[in-house]
Chains A and B, each alone.
Chain A
Amino acid sequence: AQTVTQSQPEMSVQEAETVTLSCTYDTSESDYYLFWYKQPPSRQMILVIRQEAYKQQNATENRFSVNFQKAAKSFSLKISDSQLGDAAMYFCAYSTPRGRRETSGSRLTFGEGTQLTVNP
């Protein structure tokens, strides 16, 4: 079974600084997706960034980037120029879509989460 591990229950960063959140996963699949979701106190799950396993290039979304190491099964999230609004719980997640023709796929498997605090 696939598992996702986030070894940092809590992290803190100074405003405008850079922080990296760690995530490792275990799978025997070759084609899969990895995600980072942000959950602020409003509890809404917000997609931060997504990475397809067959793409070697690391995904980036503005101040957010990932370091995807497929062989090591590592998927860390780097937040640059941290802002107060980045404070939230961050979840790493994994899925294996069933097929590219289908409109839905398999469920997400989540890590335990990392609570990020941004200090002014």
Chain B
Amino acid sequence: SAVISQKPSRDICQRGTSLTIQCQVDSQVTMMFWYRQQPGQSLTLIATANQGSEATYESGFVIDKFPISRPNLTFSTLTVSNMSPEDSSIYLCSVGHWLGREGYGYTFGSGTRLTVV
């Protein structure tokens, strides 16, 4: 299965600033997924990042707030812009991939814990 390196693992940021989160995959994947996990809650999909085209955002998430880059098949970034305390969450990237006879699976990055003060 794929291995994802996600950075930073945590950060404390001032309101009004921006933070860029990076995910590097050790194999080529067509799509990467970005999730937000607010404190004590489940994972919510922010957007799907496809190489060579604009990301597809879920309802409630907009490109101006969460711009995504996908310059190649192994790398993606998510920026949280103009942050407010409500953006304090864990952000995770994920990829899906076939595992041969084992079927289909997903791998997650280790997550970025963001605190906005």
Interface on A for B, CB 8 Å cutoff?
33, 35, 42-45, 47, 50, 52, 91, 95, 97, 100, 102-108, 110-113
Contact = CB atoms under 8 A, between A and B. Distances in A.
Interface residues of B, number: 28
Nearest to B95: A104
Q: Binding site of B, secondary structure by majority: helix, strand, loop or mixed?
A: strand
B33 A111 contact: no
Interface of B: 28-31, 33, 37, 41-45, 48, 90, 92, 94-98, 102-106, 108, 110-111, 113
Contacts of A47: 105-106
A110 B42 contact: yes
Most buried by A among B44, B95, B96, B110: B96
B104 A105 contact: yes
Nearest to B10: A43
Contact of B90 (A33, A43, A91): A43
Given A95-B96, A97-B104, A113 B110 contact: no
Contacts of A43: 37, 90, 92, 110-111, 113
